[in-house]
Structure 1
Amino acid sequence: MKALPIRLDLDFVSENPSDDQPLAPEIPDDVWEQFTRDTARNTSAPKEPSARARMVTERLRQQEARGESPPGWRTGPAVSNGRVARRRKLWAVLGVPVAAAVAVVALKPTLLPGDPFGTDETGAAASPLPAETAAPTAAPGASDPGTPTLDKPFAGSPALRWADGEAGIVLPEAKAVGSVTEERVRQALKLTKKLLVGANLDPKTVRGARPEAALSLLDPKQPELLDELDTALRSPSAKHDPVTLFSRFDPDEVRPAGDVIKTRGHMTFKKGSHGGVAVRADYTFVYPVVRADGPVEVTRTIVRRVLDVELADPAQYEVTRGRLLLLEYDQEIGNSSCDVHDGYLHPEFPSSEPTDAPPSGPTTDPYDRSKDLDRDPDECGTVSRT
């Protein structure tokens, strides 16, 4: 039975007692004994009831004598109130840990399963991949569905977890190769990275300008190579197309969707054939773009490049110190018109009607870095995703 003070219900008391309900001068012995027994169950010491409490007690005693006792008097609380009491006790027990959990969730809401607050935005919560140190054994798995936008240009792409720009070109640890010192190997790796950046990540190059930074790294004592590249940049054609080495977009047609180009790949090195160190670079670059004019629709072009360069020994060969010999280069371009050779990449947008010739080659995954580039250069295939 609950202690009497908790069960008092003032609805049974008139604010202005009538004359036929006089205030009892004292509490009858049986009521006082009951009050004492009930109060003894509380942890606090019993106190003499106030005049108002005595009035209520006498009123209840008289109602009981007439058989008009209200519910709960001497019979304990109603069951519904018991459930409320249990809930309050449960909250008292759980209050501290729940409050601590609320504080933790407030600081890091992603700890809750299912992301109930919608904080897991595509491209924001995806954990970055570790740096690639060798060719993967398979293509990346399917990505979460998503349509690229200006705010999330890599939504729905495996490149979402790739590194941004230069951060994706991680150099291997330099080690001496034969008679080539560790320092020379390190220099060759750094020059190769600069060549990749100048040819594929430099904002001026990507926006269609002449790739001066990349050209300045090539040995001028390769006159035929530089002449061919100069011809390609000045008068592009199917035979001399600069996009085979440089990633360039027509600024009158498209512009970058943001400042980020996703990059993934790796380098290897070995003793070269010109007394120096030979470096092979295999990297893929993903470019989100929008139309220069018209609807704001984002698409992506994916370019994979494989370069073989060497930092030759100037003591043995007639080469320029600190410049690279470009021995071979190859590329695979996904989502760019095949039959246009004006020196630029021409991405196609989902809403556009195809303008080039029907595909003559197989369907390929431009994100698959596990395969060698052994395609027929005259084939124009399709890509399975962008």
Structure 2
Amino acid sequence: MIKTLVFHIGDPKNGTSSIQRALFDRTLRCHQVRIAPQQELNASGLANTLLKDDRLERRRKLFRQKRDWALREDADFGVISAEFFARARPRLLQRCLQQYLPEHAADARILAYARPHAAWIVSAYSTRVKTGGSLAILSEFTAQIIQGKFLEYTPRFSRWERTFGRHFVMRPFVLTELYQGDVVADFFHQILEGVPFSLQEAPTAANSSLSVEELAAMRMIQETWVRLEVPKPLRLALGGALGRILEGGAAGRKRSKLRLDQASAVAIRNRFLEDARALDNVFFGKPLMAAALDSAVDIGLPEPQPLEAEEYFTATVLVEMQEAAAALVPPLLADPRAWRNDYRKRKASGTKYGKVAAGIRQKKYIDNVWAQLNRLAGLMSSAQS
């Protein structure tokens, strides 16, 4: 039986994908302590059952599966990781542990990371554009986020601390504060509590941010898919797949970094300074989050960066992008499940290969979609200097 369960709850945009990839690939090497990672790449399915009360049956099923796993494995620590736990009610998770994992409820540990507010907004924007969740420009997205409460960290994480007490650990996603300056290394360092370890290989960056040029292109591509009525779940998967191709090293890839303009940085600082100071006082004991807000203002650009594709690509390339984006829609919609299952398989395996079993016609559809995505990645790498 696993001795202690560790729930890694995110937050989103805090290296969660890289941590999960390292767990799934079993890159940890430690002679003194054994860690049993969750069987799946992430436990989002389990976490999502805590967000709505109409998922009771699925909640029971998935927690019972975790109990079977925890009783079957022989390890010092078992890790369950999903960034969607960040939106769950801590007391609900505690009740589920007591009900479904009673052997582990008393000693279960909770590990969370918090990224400085401004940096989180920039990273989240890149992901939202990539997956079609937002077609706004960065300054507009910033205005939307500061109206919400998700980045009010202190009240949310204080609830976790009140519920789990000393078993809750809050870490700052600040490179100078992370063990070896890396979130994956810091994650294992926290779980192992200082026991020596190594990582078999440096984990490949997962879910890395797009460049300014790539974001401008992705906005246009996602707009094309919206116009052609591609369902949102498929647009999300297409954007994720295109991002993975770019991460794999498309030739000539431009890497201009996305940055906030000063006016947006000032607005973020004004909105979240009180929370930043409270978070520093309650959890970190030094002004990490407040200093990050000041730094964001100091390095803010005088004007927002252009995010229109016309700023970076020739008219010919723009036409080719739109053609490629449109060309993949018929084979995609001919059998949406075929390509999406293939993408999930590739994503889980961490390779470009390993297609799921499919008939000849399905394979043709799948190959056609991938061909156009690879074409798009090449075009996105042809941005003008």
TM bucket, shorter chain: under 0.3
Larger relative strand fraction? 1
Question: Normalising by the residue count of structure 1, what TM-score does the alignment of the two structures yield?
Answer: 0.19
Bigger radius of gyration: 1
- Higher RCO structure (Cα 8 Å, ≥6 apart): 2
Q: Scaled by the length of structure 2, what TM-score is found?
A: 0.19
Bigger fraction of residues in helix: 2
